[in-house]
Each structure stands twice: as C-alpha cells, then as structure tokens.
Amino acid sequence: MIELNLILLGPPGAGKGTQAARLVDDFELPYFATGDILRAAVTDGSELGTVAKRHMDAGELVPDEVICGVVIERVDGPNARDGFVLDGFPRTIPQAEALEEAVSKLGRRLTAALLVEAPDAEVIRRLSGRRICSKNQHTYHVEFDPPKNEGFCDQDGSPLIQRDDDKPETIAKRLEVYHAQTTPLIEYYDTAGLLRRFDGTRLPTEVHDHIRATIATLRLESDL
C-alpha cells in the first residue's frame, strides 16, 4: 500500500473538518492541524516548541521555519509512516516549498492537495446560522438544525448565542484572509499536478465518496 500524504485546502465552513475525520477513519491516518501541532509542541517542551511559545507569548506570528520544523517533526513521527492529513499547513508558498523539500529529504512525496470548495455566500450562510448553547455548548443551526423553541437549547433550555467569529462581518474578513493566502497555493499545487477539487456544496457523504474514489484512482495510477 502506498503512503497517503494529503493536504486539505478550503475555506472555513466548506466541510474540511468533516472530511478530515472520515479520511482518518477510512485510512487510519494521523490528522495534523497547525494549531494543535503548535500547542502539542509547546506542551511537550521540545526545542522548537519552546521557541514557538516565546513568539506566541509575545503575541507574535510564529516564524515559518519554526512552524515547518514542528510540522516535519510530526510528519516524520512513527504514527505517520503510512501517511498523514495536514490541515492549516501550508498557508503560504514558502511554507509549501519547505514542506516539499522536507518530505523529499525523508524519501517521501506528497500524494495530493484536496481542495474542498464552497462559494463565499454559502460559507457565510453556513457559519452565520450557527448557534451555540451558552451553558453546555450544544450546537444548532437556524436553517439546517433549528431548536424546537427559537433561541433556546432543546437539551437544557439555556439561551443560544452567536459566537463573534460566526458573525457575517467576521466571516467576511476570514474569507478575505483565506483568499489572499490560499489562491497562490491552489495555483502552486495545480501546477505541480497535485490539486484535486471537490464541490463542498454537495452533501458530506457525496463529497466523501468523491474523495475516496479520487484516492483509489491515485493509488491505482501509482501501481501502474
């Protein structure tokens, strides 16, 4: 069986998290999200984690070389021998180049960059409709999964709130950042022949089936 070294791309609200969880279950791959990796490195007290913590405590962006180093530590770990799913990294062309170089030095290669796409209007519709129970964090959606009593949690009766990062104006700003950072990456991986596109507006099961079929094709091609 070939390795599955996968990168997940896509805007917030496109369904990357759902598809990542299914990929992890389907292929028994470790899932590495940049924020989780950095926090784990800090907790572990590794050399790179200590450097990352110094920048984070100062409210500074963690330098590319530190982020890349922390990610590569995980990619080269024993639980990632058969592959991995990366989410939130790379975010820039220099990070993508550093990842490619590091993976190549390990005698490995990236399998694909999976882009789950959704238009901005759909992303705003999905995220801005989310409501959270103020007491126990139960999640609802005003359109897709509304509570029985508007504004109140079905399970404990607590008021439902809209988080600040789910407000339309905040989502719009997040999308601006996403487009600025990710558009060059899409072109980068498309030029490299690694990009695979998926319609995130379809049902999650349909997106999952499409991704599985794509991976099956990639494996077949690698065996030829």
Examine the residue annotation and report whether 16 is marked as an active-site residue of this protein. yes
Q: Does residue 70 sit within a domain?
A: no
Q: What is the C-alpha separation between 107 and 198, in angstroms, rounded?
A: 29
Examine the residue annotation and report whether 174 is marked as an active-site residue of this protein. yes
Q: Within the chain, where are the H helices?
A: 16-27, 34-44, 47-57, 64-75, 93-105, 120-128, 168-191, 204-223
Predicted pLDDT at 1: 52
pLDDT above 60 (res 224): no
What is the domain count for the chain? 1
Q: One of 125, 130, 131, 196 is an active-site residue; which one?
A: 130
Q: Does residue 133 sit within a domain?
A: no
Domain that holds residue 207: 4-29+82-119+176-223
Examine the residue annotation and report whether 167 is marked as an active-site residue of this protein. no
Global confidence as pTM: 0.85
> Quick one: how far is CA 56 from the chain centroid?
21
Q: Does residue 100 sit within a domain?
A: yes
The CATH number given to whatever domain includes residue 11 is: 3.40.50.300
Q: Does residue 187 sit within a domain?
A: yes
Give mean pLDDT, residues 34-51: 79
Q: One of 53, 174, 197, 202 is an active-site residue; which one?
A: 174
Examine the residue annotation and report whether 74 is marked as an active-site residue of this protein. no
| Residues 148-196 pLDDT 10s | 999 999 999 999 999 988 999 999 998 998 898 888 999 999 999 999 9
Q: One of 16, 74, 126, 131 is an active-site residue; which one?
A: 16
Q: Does residue 107 sit within a domain?
A: yes
Q: Does residue 52 sit within a domain?
A: no
| Residues 57-104 pLDDT 10s | 776 767 788 888 888 888 888 889 889 999 988 988 988 998 999 899
Q: Report residue 122's pLDDT band, with 50, 70 and 90 as the boundaries.
A: very high
Q: What is the C-alpha separation between 116 and 121, in angstroms, rounded?
A: 15
Q: What is the C-alpha separation between 110 and 90, in angstroms, rounded?
A: 12
Over pLDDT 70: what percentage of the chain? 97
Q: Does residue 159 sit within a domain?
A: no
Q: Does residue 213 sit within a domain?
A: yes
Predicted pLDDT at 190: 97
Examine the residue annotation and report whether 91 is marked as an active-site residue of this protein. yes
Q: One of 22, 91, 202, 212 is an active-site residue; which one?
A: 91
| 164 three-class SS | helix
Q: One of 54, 105, 163, 173 is an active-site residue; which one?
A: 163
